[in-house]
Each structure stands twice: as structure tokens, then as C-alpha cells.
Amino acid sequence: MLKATQETALDVSADTDIALWLEQQTGKSLLRFLTCGSVDDGKSTLIGRLLYDSQLILDDQLASLKNESRNRHVGEEGIDFSLLVDGLTAEREQGITIDVAYRFFSTDKRKFIVADTPGHEQYTRNMATGASNADLALLLVDARKGLLTQTRRHSFILSLIGVKHIVLVVNKIDLVDYSQEVFERIEAEYRAFAAELGFKSLAAVPVSALRGDNIVQRSERMPWYGGEPLLPYLETVEVGEDRAQRPLRFPVQWVNRPNLDFRGFSGTVASGVVKVGDEVLVAASRKPAVVTRIVTMDGDFERAVAGQAVTLVLDREIDISRGDVLTHSGATPEYSNQFQARLIWMNDEPAYPGRSYLLKIGSQTVPATITGLKHRTNVNTLEKSAARTLELNEVGTVTVATDKPVAFDPYKDNGLTGGFILIDRISNRTLGAGTIDYGLRRAQNLTYQSFDVNREVRAQMKAQTPRIVWFTGLSGSGKSTIANFIEKRLTAEGKHAYILDGDNVRHGLNKDLGFTDTDRIENIRRVAEVARLMADSGLIVLVSFISPFRNERRMAREIAGDIDFLEVYVDTPLEVCEARDPKGLYAKARAGQIKNFTGIDSAFEAPERADIVLHGAEHDPVDLADELYVRLIG
């Protein structure tokens, strides 16, 4: 078959027509655009119309469409075009678009990939998703309604994600009698709003997607409109940005090592050009090497440009692995563990400063924390206001610290090395997307001072192994009681221990913190740091904190680093704790006098893999303390 195919190809190359046609096919340019706007502005209908008018709807699709279009709002052709693009059953039933759908069509001049994105507010994240890979956006407005909150929100997101070319499509112009005055008013209003959003081009077209006005042909019903119809405009608009002209960024994706004689670094050139003979630098280590080969299955290349997936071979053995970025000296990316960024939050649970997330940028994935929320931008007015958390679909300016430095560029300089996502460390969901403004260099000047007397020395003096014992459980579960017994017994045996108790710490170090989720996270972070310092001084630290969230208990464990860390879950049922109610807090919470009380109106996330589980309702605290003591001292 391999042979037959090759013969076939040879036969055909004699046929000039098809060869030319195929050459044209393979040489076409590509435009990726997205459609966005408010719900019911007719996005799906517009895309269906583009497909229909460029004669891309196939016979069987057309037949099934006509069938499905009965009882629906249809144009002169008797077809509801939105049915072409509204793919999911739920959407068809509800008559709305709920996710990004990708469509493909092509004309003689161009190929198009269309992302149809939803207008509903709760799905704004999907719009950002569609925008991240688009060169241009069609922003739909209903001529009867003019600019809406969603129009502004989406424009802001387009600007944030860096979509530079906008077409304002004033749809349903037939429903306002093809009014020039309505169109011009909307266009003027939008231009005023968009002035500060940094778009490179902005065109406005009055259309009726349902009736086909100004889609492919100029509409006779709007002689006053002097511009191009939509499709001809899309075929010719210049959006090109030559990534090859930018500095070299080659993120190493995969180390290619088929045998001992070959070691290559596979990746896609994100920007710039790399040539055989070039000296390249590893962004992190600054170690140089010379490119000796650019390997592909189609033979070695002399050079590779932005967008090409290749394998580089270097002249010497230097330490390079996935996540490293190769670059030219003199034009290196920033390399830092702190930066300022704009963050779009895409998750139901808000973004909390202080919580540890995973950050992915290029092929690098590292733990990271939002260290500060500078402000939140009101996407309707573009006004900035102070905020403590970032809710679903909100946009904030944040500072981010990563556990180790990463290589990056400001997003405005390089979209592929300046954009990142944040991932939840427990559910693994994608929580938000960020664009880096600039690196913060403070942390690079802060280094650790090392001293001669270290933890090992201090531990030997005390003849014990320093460790952190982290008690978690509901209020009244018995944490402090058990910790108290343990401390007494340790002290009696000549050991050095200390209890960090939630209530006590809140009277001093943490008295500025309340009980919101954000404050609870900061509460735990500080205590974890204190516990680490104490254990480093040689102590056995008993931490008795409700610590209701898995994420922060994980953070505490990570802060402890190489210090022995034991998570003890005092598992006492809520009814038992509430019956005990040693401080009368449950009664107050039930009466509504205390807000955000764990177990009542704030969640307790039970540990899934605690080191030790103590059943507080079934045993006497003294027995539980003895059991734990054996585990501690052995």
C-alpha cells in the first residue's frame, strides 16, 4: 500500500490542475477568530449563516436542519442556522449556547477556525478560552438593545487576553428598519468605550444574520453603509504578527533520548529563529551551548522559526530538562519567583491570597501563591476597587510568588511565554488564567543566611527529634485536651515541647485576622511558619488548630519542608462536639451570633490520608494521648 500511494502521488503530479490546486490549499493563510457578545445577540445564527452563504452546508446536514427547524424562528430559507452550531443536547433544548464550539470553513483566500463562545455571564471563562487562541473577534450587538454589560465585559476580556482586532457586528438591523442612525449611535458609543482597550483595528458592520444582509454581499437594504460586507472583510483583514521577529524562546517539552549516542531537546519554537551554529543559553542556569543539529523526520534543518516543532542537539552535555527555556544571550526572558499579573478567575470557589496553587507556564509547572490582591477591576466601568478575594468571572491585579523561579516574558511582549494557568492542588481543576505584567525582583535580593549552629546541633543538645504534630478536627473534638496530655508526658520525660493553640495564637500574633476563608488561610500559614521555626530550634511542636481546609494542611506540611510532620485527625462527630460545647460556641453559632463557624455554616474538609486518626467519641482522651505518645516516641 505504501508503494501504491507513492505511485498515486506521482501520477497526480503530472496533472497540473490538481497539483496547483493542492499547492493553493496547503499555502492558504489561517485566521482564527471568535464570536462573542451578549446572549441572544445571534452568534450561532451568524456562524450558521457564514457557513451557509459560503456554501459549506452539506446536503444531509441541510435536510436534517430543515427537519429540525420546524417550530423555530427561521429566516427566508426556512432554516434556523443556530442549529448548525449549537451542538449539545442541553443547548438545543434550552435554545442557548453553553460552551465553546469550534467551526471550520474556508474560502478561496483563507481558512477560518471559528470559536463560538457563550454570552451567559457564568460562562465568561469559556470566552477567555476562545480568545486565548484567536487573532480577531467578532463582537455582536443586538441593534435593538445597543451595548450591554456583557459587551463591555467581553471587550475587556478581549483586551486582557490581547486580541488586537475587533469587528463590531451590529446584528438584527432588520428589526430596527435598517436604521443608519441606530447603527451610527452604537458604533460611536462603542468606539468611545473601546478607546482605552488597546485594540489595533476596529471595524463596524451592520448585518442581519437571519436574513443574510451584509454577510457575503453588500445589502441593498442599507445603501448608506459604505464599508465591506463581513466575509470579504474577514478574508482580507491583516492580523499577522511575525513571531519569528521576536527574541528566541524554545521551551523544552521532552528530552529525546533513543540511545546513548543521541540526546536531543524536543519542543516548539515559541518565538524567534534558531540556527545551526547558534550559541543558546538555558534561561535558568545561564549555561551556554552551541546548536549542532536541528533534527526532524524530514531531515535536518539549517534553521527553525516560530511555530515549528523540532528537536535540537547541542555540542556539550549541560543540565537541561523539561521546563527549561533555551534562548539567545542578550535577549533572555525574565527569571524570577515573583511577578505582577492580571488574573481572570474561572472557578466557583474564589481565589484566596495565601493558598497554594499549581502554576503552569510554558512547559514549567510549579507551586505558587497569590501573595497580594492589589485591586479588582470592575469590568463594566473599568474602575478599580480594593478586594480581599476574587470571585468567579472577576478580574484582578495580583502579585504571585512561585516556589522556585520561572522563566517568562511580559504578556504584551510574548503571549506564549507570558500567559499562565492556575490549577487546584486537590481537585486538579483549572481555576484561573493570568497574563504577566512584569517581574518583581525583590525576592532575588533576599537570600538565606546560613549559621553554624543548625537544627541538628540543637536537636542533639535536647536529645530528641524535632517534629511538628498537627492536630486537626472540629471545635470541641478534643484536640487541645489530647495535646495537653502529650505535652505533660513529654515534659515529664525530659523532652522539650510546645503547644501552639488556635485560640491563644488568635489573641496575639493573629489578632488582626477574622474568620472569613481568606483569614483562615492566612491564620494557618502564619502558624505553620511559626511551627517550622520552633521545630528548627529543636522543639517538638504540637499544633492544635481546627485547620478545616485540605489545601492549607497540605501547605503546612510543605512549609515544614524536611521537618518530620505528623497529621493527626481527631475524628469526633459533630453531634458529640456540639453536645460537649466546652466554650458555648456551638450554641452561639446555632443562634446566629457567630458567623462562619466550622461545622455549622463553614465547611470542615476531613483529611483523606491523615497519618493518625484518633476517634474522640469512642475513647478517653488519656488513652488517645497514650496511643499517640507511643507513635511519637516509639
Partner 1 sequence: MGQDIGQTPTQLSHLHALESESIEILREVAASFDRPVMMYSIGKDSSVLLHLARKAFFPSRIPFPLLHVNTTWKFREMIAFRDRMAQEYEFDLITHTNPDGLRDNINPFDHGSSRYTDIMKTAALRQALDAGKYDAAIGGARRDEEKSRAKERIFSHRNAQHAWDPKNQRPELWRLFNTRLNPGESMRVFPLSNWTELDIWTYIYSEGIPIVPLYFARHRPVVERQGTLIMVDDERMPLAPGEAPREEMVRFRTLGCYPLTGAIRSDAATLAEIIMEMQASRTSERQGRLIDSDQAGSMEKKKQEGYF
- Report yes or no: 24 and 104 within 8 Å, Cβ to Cβ: no
Could you say whether residue 107 binds partner 1 (CB under 8 A)? no
Cα separation, 290 vs 276, in Å, equals 8
> Closer to partner 1 at the Cβ: 19 or 579?
19
Could you say whether residue 273 binds partner 1 (CB under 8 A)? yes
Q: Which residue type occupies 275? A: K
Residue 242 burial by Cβ neighbours in a 10 Å radius (0-12, 13-18, 19+) = exposed
Any binding-site annotation on 38? yes
Lookup: cell for 232: 470579504
**Bridge partners (DSSP) listed for residue 314:** 291
**Within 226-265, which residues bind partner 1 (CB under 8 A)?**
240, 242, 244-245, 253-254, 256-258, 262, 264
Query: What number of CA atoms fall less than 13 Å from residue 216's CA on the CB side?
Result: 13
> Closer to partner 1 at the Cβ: 148 or 313?
313
Lookup: cell for 506: 488568635
Among 360, 489, 532, 553, binds partner 1 (CB under 8 A): 360
Lookup: cell for 45: 445564527
> Closer to partner 1 at the Cβ: 47 or 170?
47
> Closer to partner 1 at the Cβ: 194 or 361?
361
- What minimum distance in Å lies between the beta carbon of 259 and partner 1? 9
**Within 111-170, which residues bind partner 1 (CB under 8 A)?**
111, 113, 125-126, 128-129, 132-133
Lookup: cell for 362: 510554558
Any binding-site annotation on 452? no
**Within 276-305, which residues bind partner 1 (CB under 8 A)?**
295-303, 305
DSSP letters along 453-485, please? S-HHHHHHHHTS--EEEEEE--TTSSHHHHHHH
- What minimum distance in Å lies between the beta carbon of 534 and partner 1? 34
- What minimum distance in Å lies between the beta carbon of 524 and partner 1? 23
Cα separation, 457 vs 459, in Å, equals 5
| Edge-to-edge strands, sheet with 540-544 | 497-501, 540-544, 467-472, 564-570, 612-614
CB 445: neighbour CB atoms within 10 A? 6
Residues 6+ apart with CB under 8 A from 551: 355, 356, 424, 425, 426, 521
CB 9: neighbour CB atoms within 10 A? 10
> Closer to partner 1 at the Cβ: 276 or 509?
276
Q: Could you give the C-alpha distances from 76 to 46, 51, 239, 302, in angstroms and in order?
A: 15, 16, 34, 57
- Report yes or no: 575 and 620 within 8 Å, Cβ to Cβ: no
- What minimum distance in Å lies between the beta carbon of 340 and partner 1? 19
Region from 56-64, 137-145, 194-202, 557-565 binding partner 1, contact rule CB under 8 A: 56-64
**Within 30-49, which residues bind partner 1 (CB under 8 A)?**
30
CB 54: neighbour CB atoms within 10 A? 17
**Residue 285 is a catalytic residue:** no
Could you say whether residue 25 binds partner 1 (CB under 8 A)? yes
- What minimum distance in Å lies between the beta carbon of 417 and partner 1? 10
Among 102, 199, 233, 335, binds partner 1 (CB under 8 A): 102
Could you say whether residue 499 binds partner 1 (CB under 8 A)? no
CB 287: neighbour CB atoms within 10 A? 14
> Pick from 559, 497, 493, 495: which is nearest to 526 by CA?
559
**Contact code string over 303-342 relative to partner 1, x by CB under 8 A:** x-x-xxxxx----------x--------------------
> Closer to partner 1 at the Cβ: 37 or 264?
264
- Report yes or no: 132 and 433 within 8 Å, Cβ to Cβ: yes
Any binding-site annotation on 516? no
> Pick from 466, 482, 467: which is nearest to 566 by CA?
467
> Closer to partner 1 at the Cβ: 50 or 483?
50
**Bridge partners (DSSP) listed for residue 265:** 255, 312
Any binding-site annotation on 43? yes
Could you say whether residue 348 binds partner 1 (CB under 8 A)? no
Could you say whether residue 268 binds partner 1 (CB under 8 A)? yes
> Closer to partner 1 at the Cβ: 421 or 509?
421
Among 100, 370, 474, 528, binds partner 1 (CB under 8 A): 100
Among 73, 92, 374, 488, binds partner 1 (CB under 8 A): 92
Any binding-site annotation on 42? yes
Any binding-site annotation on 473? yes
Residue 553 burial by Cβ neighbours in a 10 Å radius (0-12, 13-18, 19+) = buried
- What minimum distance in Å lies between the beta carbon of 104 and partner 1? 5
> Closer to partner 1 at the Cβ: 391 or 536?
391
CB 21: neighbour CB atoms within 10 A? 11
Among 16, 59, 181, 512, binds partner 1 (CB under 8 A): 59
Region from 397-405, 428-436, 504-512, 624-632 binding partner 1, contact rule CB under 8 A: 428-436
**Within 526-555, which residues bind partner 1 (CB under 8 A)?**
none
- Report yes or no: 510 and 608 within 8 Å, Cβ to Cβ: no
- What minimum distance in Å lies between the beta carbon of 153 and partner 1? 16
Among 74, 77, 106, 619, binds partner 1 (CB under 8 A): 106
Backbone Cα Rg of the chain: 31
Could you say whether residue 28 binds partner 1 (CB under 8 A)? yes
Annotated binding site: 37-44, 116-120, 171-174, 473-480
Catalytic residue annotation: 547
Annotated binding site for GTP: 37-44, 116-120, 171-174
